[in-house]
Structure 1
Amino acid sequence: MSTVGVRHHQLFIDGAQIDAPDHYEIISPATEQLVCTVAKGTVAHADAAVAAARRAFEEGSWSRKPPHERSQVMRAIADRLGEDSEQLCELEIAANGATLRQAMAFLVGYAAPHFLYFAEQAASYPFESTVATAAYPTASSNRIHRDPIGVCAAIVPWNFPLLLGIWKIGPALAAGNSIVVKTDEKTPLSLLRLAEIAHECGLPKGVLNVVTGDGPEVGAHLASHPDVDKVAFTGSTAVGREIMRLASGTVKRISLELGGKAPAILLDDADLDIAVDGALFGCMLYSGQICESGTRLLVPDALHDEVVERLVARAATIRLGDPADFDTDMGPVVSARQRDRVLGYLDAARRDGARVALGGGAPDGAQFERGFWIEPTILTDVTNDMTVAREEIFGPVLCVLRYSSLEEAVAIANDTPYGLTAGIWSSDPERAIEVAERLRAGTVWINNWHQIDPALPFGGCKQSGLGRELGQGALDEYTEPRHVHVDLTTRLDRHIFDALLSEPPAGR
C-alpha cells in the first residue's frame, strides 16, 4: 500500500518526537483505506523512554514539584483535552472504528473530565498525614508520607486508548511519577497527541513518554524492565497473566484490568421497555468491544419469548454505517482479525446448539464489501457451559440464557472465571440491591450500564484483574507509604532499651 502523501506520526520520548526505521500502517476499520503511518517502536526505544523517565524523576522537575503546582499543569492539560475534543474524536474514529456519537460521549467525551478529576486529586490527596498512636510503650509522633513510586509503565489496549491511557497517566502524574505509555499498534494516535498537549501545557520533558511497538516485544520488555517500578495494564486475561509473570522478576507493583463476561439479570418485575433497550446498550455499544459489556442476558422462563421478540425487533433498528456519520449507531469491529474471531465464535455457537435469532454474520450491501463488519447478533438457547457463554467474544453478540429461579440466576451469573461487572434490571430497587450483594463483580449496575464515574473505583475480581482504577483511592496505586516515627521520650530510663540492655549505663 502506497504511503506517498500520507501523514506520518513519530514516537514521543523525552519531550521530542522520535522516528524509527520501520512503521505501522493505520488502516480504517470501516473502509480498509490507509489513514496514516506511525513509527514502529523497538526495545531500544522503550529503553530510551524508561531512561528519560528515570532521569526526570530523579532530577525532580515533576516528582518534587509541590502538589498544587502539579495540579495547575494538569488542569491546563484537561482544558486542552476539552478544547481539542473534535480533533481527538477524528483520531479515535479513524483508527478504531468507533462511531462519532460514541466517541463524543465516551472515548473522548470522558477524557477531559476524568483527567480533571486527577488534577483535582493532585491538590487534595493526603500526601502527608498524622496518625494518632497510643503512648505505650513510649510517646511518639507518627506521620505517613505517600511518595511517588518512580517510573511507571502503562500498557493500553486498542478499544479506549485515550480514556484508558488517562486512567493510568492521570494518577501517575498526580502522584509525581514519570510514565512510559505503550500504545496498541492499531490505535496510537490520540495518546501521541495527548503527549504533545501535555508538554505544550508545561509538563517537563521525560515525565510522559509514548512508544508504540509489538506487545510481545516492547510491552513484555517494559513489564520486566528493572528500572520500571510499576506496570498498569488493561487487556486480555491471558496477557495479564504474562504481565504478572514478567513483573515478578523484579517484584514490581502491578495493576491489571482484564477480561469480563458480564451477566445481566432481568428480574420478573423489570420494566421491559427499559430493560430491552438497556440490555442492547449494555452489550452492543461500540460493537461490543468493551470488557465490561453485558454479554450474558439472564431471562426468567416466563418472560423469555417476549423478551427475545422485543430484543430482535429493537436490535434490527440499529443502523450500521460510516462511523463519522452522526446518524450511525454502530460501526465496524477494529480489524480483520477481530472480525474473523467473532465469526469463529458464532460458528462455534451454532455447533454447540445455540440458535441465531438475529444477525449471525457480516451484513449484506455494497457499503460493507470493504471494512470489518459484524451484524448485531442475538443468540438464544444458550447454556452457560457453551463457549460463547464462557469466553469473551468482544463483538456485538448478546447471549440470552433462561433461568427458572432467582437462586439459579445468581448461580449462573457467578459461574464464570471473570468478575468485572454485572447488572440487574428490576422495577424494585430494594430487591435489586439484595441481588447485587450476591454477585461477585467489581461493579454492579442496576437499570443502566456503562456508567463510569472518575470518583468511583473501577476494576474486577477473580480473573478480571487486580487493583482499582479511578476513585478516591486511585493514587494509592501510584504511591508508596513511608512511615516516619519520632520518639518523644527524653529520659533514658523511660525508654524500653532494657529489653536488651539490662546493665545500667556506666556512671548513672
Structure 2
Amino acid sequence: MDVNRSIFTAQGLLGPEPGHVIAGIRRTDHGGDPLPVIDPATGARVAEVPSASDALVDEAVTLAVTAQRAWARRSHTERAKVLRSIHTLLGEHAEEIARIVSVEQGKPFGDAVGEIGGAQNFFEYAISQQYRDIGEVIATESGEQLTVREVPIGVVAAILPWNFPAAIFARKVAPALMAGNAIIVKPSEFTPLSAMALAELCRRAGVPDGLLSVLCGPGRSTGSALVRHPDVGMVTMTGSTRGGREIMAQAAQKLIPVSLELGGKAPFIVFPDADIDRAAKDAVAARLWNAGQVCTCNEITYVHQDIREEFVERVQSHLAAVEPSDPFAASSTLGPLVAEREWTKVKSMVDAAVEQGATLALGGGRPEGEQFAAGNWFAPTLLTDVTEQMDITRNEVFGPVLAVTTFSTYDELITRANATPYGLSAYVYSNNLHTVMQALDDLDFGEIYVNKAGPERPQGFHTGWKASGLGGDDGTHGYERYLRRKTSYVGYGPSYGG
C-alpha cells in the first residue's frame, strides 16, 4: 500500500489537500515558502503545507475573540457534551489519525494508535471538570457577598511539538475548550497534518467555527506572530528549552501567562538492591519510546558499581533484541527519527562521546540493510564508561542512545544527577523504602517514577523544574492554567439600600 498517498482522501479528515484550518474551512493562503512534510521512514515528500502570513494570524485571532465570547456563555455541561463528541469521534477515527501520525512522524502504527488513546484520555479528564468547584464565597460584612470565581482567559495560542502531535494537541485543546477559551494551534513544521485532521474532527463534533484554528508555519514567524498578537491572552508551548525562552521573552512584553513544557535530561538510577532484570528492561523501554524522542526518556543511566557488569549485560541483551522496522509492519516497535537534522545531531553526539572516551558497545549509526538506506533510521545504541565530563551526559540526546555511567555512594549520585540544568523526570529503582523516600526528597525534578517507567497520567501534573519549564497542562494544576479569577463584591443589605 502507498502510505504516502493513502492519508489524503475526499472523505477523510485531511480531505484531498492540506491547509490551515480557520472557521472550519481549509485555507491554502501562503505567507512564505511552503513547508515540505517528509515521511521519516522513506525520505519521500508526503505533502507541502502553506505558511501563515501575519494577516492570516490576525484573521484567525479576530474570529477566535468573537467565537470565545459566545462559547464562554455556555455552561460547563454544554461544553462537556461537545468534548464528549470529540472523544467519541477520536475512537471512531483512531486508525485514520494514527496512520497520519505514523506517516509524518515515523512512529510505529501500533504506538500511534496508542497515542490516539492517550488523546482520548486528555479529553476524558477535561470532561470531568464539568463538575468542578468554579469559585468560592468568602465571609465578609453583613449584607455583602464576596466571591472569587473562575473565568476563561480568552484566546489561547498553543505551540505543538512533533513527537506526539495528536496527544499534545488534545493535551492543550481539551482543557482550553472546557475552561471556556478559544484556541489557535501552531503545529510543528514536521507534523502539521495530524493537527489539521484533528481540527476537522473537532468541527464534526460541534466545536463552533472560529473557536479552534490551526495555522501552519515556522515558529519564528507564525508562532511569534501568534504570541505577539494583542488579543492572545495566554501561550502554552511544548518543545525545546531554546524555543521556550524565546516565547517567554515575547510574552513578557504583554505580561500574559505562559505554560512551558520543555526539554529534559532524565536520570535513570539503579541502586544495588534493585530488581536488576526489571530495571534493565525498563531502562531500555524508557530509552526507546518513540525512538528516544521523548522529553521524559531515560537520558543517562546511573548504575551502582557493584551491579554494573550484570546490569550492562542485561541491557545489551534487551537492546540487541530490538530491530528497527517499517512503522506499518505488524511487529514494528522502533521507527526512524523524525528528520534528517535529528539523525545528524544524534550521530554527532554519539561520535563525540566515543572521542571523549565512552565505549560503543552496540549500534552507533544507521542499521545494516538495504531497507534502511533511505529515511532517518538510527540503530539502538549502547554507550558505556560514560563520565560526567562528556557532552552526552549534559545535553539532551533525543534518540535511541542508552548511555551508562556508574556511581559508588548515595551522596555522589544525588550531586551528579542534580547537576543537569534540566529538571523534568527522573527514575529510581530500589527495594529499600528509606533509599526511595530519601531520593524523592533529594532529587531536583518535578516528576519522579519509582520502580516503573511511566508514562504520566492525565490526572497527574507533568511539571518541569529549572530549564524544563514552568509546569504543564495535566490534572487540576494544569487545567487551572487556562483560567483566571475574578473577584466580586455585591452589596445587598440595608446599608446598601436593600
Is the structural similarity TM-score above 0.5? yes
Residue correspondence of structure 1 range 277-426 to structure 2 within 5 A: 277-426=281-430
Residue correspondence of structure 1 range 143-222 to structure 2 within 5 A: 143-222=147-226
Structure with greater Cα Rg: 1
In 1, the alpha carbon distance for the partners of 2:437 and 2:467 equals: 24
Question: Hey, what does 2:77 align to over in structure 1?
Answer: 68
- State the secondary structure of the residue aligned to 1:484: strand
- State the secondary structure of the residue aligned to 1:388: helix
Question: Hey, what does 1:28 align to over in structure 2?
Answer: 39
Cα distance, 1:134 vs structure 2:
5.8
State the AA in 1 paired with 2:18. Answer: H
Kept after mapping to 1: 8 A contact 2:471/2:478: no
Question: Hey, what does 2:27 align to over in structure 1?
Answer: 18
Question: Hey, what does 1:56 align to over in structure 2?
Answer: 67
In 2, the alpha carbon distance for the partners of 1:253 and 1:491 equals: 39
Residue correspondence of structure 1 range 487-502 to structure 2 within 5 A: 487=491, 490-491=494-495
Kept after mapping to 2: 8 A contact 1:467/1:477: no
Cα distance, 1:154 vs structure 2:
0.1
Match of 1:95 among 84, 97, 104: 104
In 2, the alpha carbon distance for the partners of 1:475 and 1:201 equals: 22
Spell out, residue by residue over 1:110-143, the C-alpha distance to the aligned partner (whole angstroms, 9 max, x if none).
Answer: 111211211221x122223223x365xx774221
Q: Does 1:129 align with 2:140?
A: no
User: Aligned pair in 2 of structure 1 residues 491, 228: CA closer, same or farther (>3 Å)?
Assistant: closer
Cα distance, 1:24 vs structure 2:
2.6
In 1, the alpha carbon distance for the partners of 2:119 and 2:90 equals: 7
Spell out, residue by residue over 1:301-331, the C-alpha distance to the aligned partner (whole angstroms, 9 max, x if none).
Answer: 1111221111111100001010111201211
- State the secondary structure of the residue aligned to 1:437: helix
User: Aligned pair in 2 of structure 1 residues 491, 388: CA closer, same or farther (>3 Å)?
Assistant: same
Spell out structure 1 runs of 4+ moving beyond 6 A: 3-6
Cα distance, 1:4 vs structure 2:
11
- State the secondary structure of the residue aligned to 1:445: strand
- State the secondary structure of the residue aligned to 1:473: helix
Q: Does 1:9 align with 2:9?
A: no
Cα distance, 1:11 vs structure 2:
1.0
- State the secondary structure of the residue aligned to 1:41: coil
- State the secondary structure of the residue aligned to 1:95: helix
Q: Does 1:433 align with 2:441?
A: no
Q: Percent identity?
A: 36
TM-score (norm 1): 0.92
In 2, the alpha carbon distance for the partners of 1:436 and 1:139 equals: 49
In 2, the alpha carbon distance for the partners of 1:89 and 1:467 equals: 27
In 1, the alpha carbon distance for the partners of 2:234 and 2:224 equals: 13
Spell out, residue by residue over 1:9-49, the C-alpha distance to the aligned partner (whole angstroms, 9 max, x if none).
Answer: 11101221111245332211011122233233232222221
User: Aligned pair in 2 of structure 1 residues 139, 426: CA closer, same or farther (>3 Å)?
Assistant: farther
In 2, the alpha carbon distance for the partners of 1:183 and 1:224 equals: 17
- State the secondary structure of the residue aligned to 1:275: helix
- State the secondary structure of the residue aligned to 2:476: coil
**Which sits farther off after the overlay, 390-399 or 16-25?**
16-25
State the AA in 1 paired with 2:407. Answer: Y
In 2, the alpha carbon distance for the partners of 1:211 and 1:224 equals: 15
Spell out, residue by residue over 1:375-418, the C-alpha distance to the aligned partner (whole angstroms, 9 max, x if none).
Answer: 11111111123210111111111111110011111111111100
Cα distance, 1:201 vs structure 2:
1.2
Cα distance, 1:430 vs structure 2:
5.2
In 2, the alpha carbon distance for the partners of 1:140 and 1:400 equals: 64
- State the secondary structure of the residue aligned to 2:81: helix
Cα distance, 1:298 vs structure 2:
0.5
Cα distance, 1:356 vs structure 2:
1.0
In 1, the alpha carbon distance for the partners of 2:401 and 2:145 equals: 59
TM-score (norm 2): 0.93
Q: Does 1:119 align with 2:157?
A: no
State the AA in 2 paired with 1:49. Answer: A
Kept after mapping to 2: 8 A contact 1:8/1:39: no
Kept after mapping to 1: 8 A contact 2:136/2:149: yes
Kept after mapping to 1: 8 A contact 2:158/2:237: yes
Kept after mapping to 2: 8 A contact 1:357/1:378: yes
Question: Hey, what does 1:496 align to over in structure 2?
Answer: none
* Structure 1, gaps ≥5 residues long: 493-508
In 2, the alpha carbon distance for the partners of 1:438 and 1:489 equals: 54
Residue correspondence of structure 1 range 221-232 to structure 2 within 5 A: 221-232=225-236
State the AA in 2 paired with 1:113. Answer: N
In 1, the alpha carbon distance for the partners of 2:479 and 2:461 equals: 11
In 2, the alpha carbon distance for the partners of 1:79 and 1:337 equals: 37
Cα distance, 1:63 vs structure 2:
1.5
In 2, the alpha carbon distance for the partners of 1:339 and 1:246 equals: 30
